[in-house]
Amino acid sequence: MASPASLPQYKSDFISACRAGNVLTFGTYTLKSGRISPYFFNAGLLHRADLVRAISLAYAHTLAAEPDLKFDVLFGPAYKGIPIAAATTLGLALVDEKRFGQISYSFNRKEAKDHGEGGIIVGAPLKDKRVVIIDDVMTAGTAMREAIDITEKQGGTLVGIVVAFDRMEKVPSPTDDDGIPRPSTIGEFRKEFKVPVLSILTLDDVSKSLAGMGSETELRRLEEYREKYRASD
C-alpha cells in the first residue's frame, strides 16, 4: 500500500477534516442496500464552517486538477447540491482566480415559480452554457439523472459531474453476494453520458490513508469489504 504522501495534499487534508468532523467513520454500518460496511461517509455533517471550507477547497482542487475540463456553470441539484455549488464557486476563485474567477453557479427549485423571474432555475441560466453538475454522492443515480434532464431541458451542455466520495462498489442486485462482476453507478454514468465523473475521494484514497497511519484492523476490514463488492470498472 502507498503512504498518505502519495495522495495529493488536498485529498490528505480533506480526509483529515472528515475524520476530525466524524464525516468519515469506521465501525459496522448497515447501508440502504443492505450491505454491512466497515466505514461510513456522511456528507450531511459537512455543515460546520471549517468543514465547509475544507469541502469547498477540496471540490475546487478536484476540478482544477482536470486541465481539459472547461465549464461555465456549477449546477447544484436541490437540495444538498445548493450549498455545495455555492461554496465550491468561492473555492474555485480562491484556488485559481485567473482560471475560475468568472465561473457561476445555479440550482433548481423543486416547484416552478410563476412570478418574479419565474422558472425553476435560480442563479446563472444554463442555456448555451457548459455545465458541471456537483453533488455530495451518487448512489443509485436517480437524483443525478434528474439533474442531467434539467440541464438538457434548460439548454445547457453537460461536460462533467463531480461528487465528494466514490465507494467504488458494484451496483446492488437481488443476489448481491453472487460474485458476478458489475460496474459501479459512477462507471455506468461515465459510459452512458461520456463525460468525466470526478470525485474528491475514492475508496482507494481512504485505503492508502489508513495504510499510512498503520490502522491495520480498519484497513483489513476495508480491504475485505472492497474485495467482496469491488466494481468491475
Query: Percent of the chain at pLDDT above 90?
Result: 77
Contact 203, 166 (CB under 8 A): yes
Q: Which fold has domain 4-229?
A: Rossmann fold (3.40.50)
Given 32, 98, 110, 115, the catalytic residue: 115
pLDDT given at position 3: 43
Nearest Cα residue to 233 out of 182, 157, 173, 160 = 182
What is the predicted pLDDT for the residue at 118? 56
**Of 126, 50, 132, 149, residue with least CA distance to 89:** 132
pLDDT of residue 177: 65
pLDDT at 2: 40
Q: Is 47 a catalytic residue?
A: no
CA distance 209 to 219: 9
Mean pLDDT of 209-221: 87
Name the one residue in this structure whose C-alpha cell is 446563472.
124
Indicate the pLDDT class of residue 178, thresholds 50, 70 and 90. Answer: low
pLDDT of 100 above 50:
yes
Confidence of residue 117 (pLDDT cuts 50, 70, 90): low
Q: Where are the domains of the chain?
A: 4-229
Residue 105 cell numbers, joined: 453557479
Active-site residue flag, 115: yes
Average pLDDT of the residues in 10-26:
95
- Of 70, 113, 153, 191, the catalytic one is 113
Model pTM score: 0.91
